[in-house]
Amino acid sequence: MTRSSGTVARSLAAELWRLFDAGRFRDALPLLSEDFEAHWPNTRERIRSREDFIALNENYPGAWRCTVRRIEEYTEGVVTVTEIGDGKTGFFAVSFFTVRAGRIAAAEEYFGENGPPPFDRSAWAERY
């Protein structure tokens, strides 16, 4: 991957999250390619068009802020870590965005809720 294609991928991902954070879901449509497809493996869901992807995010219950915490470039795209919260609860999304011809062609996203440790493991881990 050339430096410039990495920068394009990084910008696309950052712009998508900026628009989602602002609740401007429709404005993100042109960032996605016409054959865009998304996979959410935790729930085994496939979203087969960019229109469905935008509609699903738009119809997600609640009002959520999205803050990108990490972006790493890999050969075909970027992976982002985004903290998503509504002021009461929160979760992290890890999103692998495949970029082709200047647009996001695929997304594979993993979601994990925030909360206390599931068992007492304070002998080995400290909370921050």
In the chain the first and final C-alpha atoms are separated, in Å, by: 37
Give the phi and the psi of residue 86 in degrees, each rounded to 5. Answer: -115, 15
Q: Is 123 in the site for a second copy (CB under 8 A)?
A: yes
For 24-59, letters b (16+ CB in 10 Å) and e give ebeebeebbbeebbbbbeeeeeebeebeebbeebee
Size of interface with a second copy, in residues (CB under 8 A): 47
Q: Which stretch binds a second copy (CB under 8 A): 10-18, 20-28, 29-37, 105-113?
A: 105-113
Q: Which stretch binds a second copy (CB under 8 A): 10-18, 28-36, 39-47, 99-107?
A: 39-47
Q: Which stretch binds a second copy (CB under 8 A): 15-23, 25-33, 65-73, 99-107?
A: 65-73
Nearby residues of 70 by Cβ (< 8 Å), 6 or more positions away: 80, 81
Q: Is 126 in the site for a second copy (CB under 8 A)?
A: yes
Q: Is 87 in the site for a second copy (CB under 8 A)?
A: no
* Residue located via tokens 């002998």: 123
Binding interface with a second copy (CB under 8 A): 40-48, 52-53, 55-56, 59-61, 69-70, 72-75, 79, 81, 83, 91-92, 94, 96, 108, 110-119, 121, 123-128
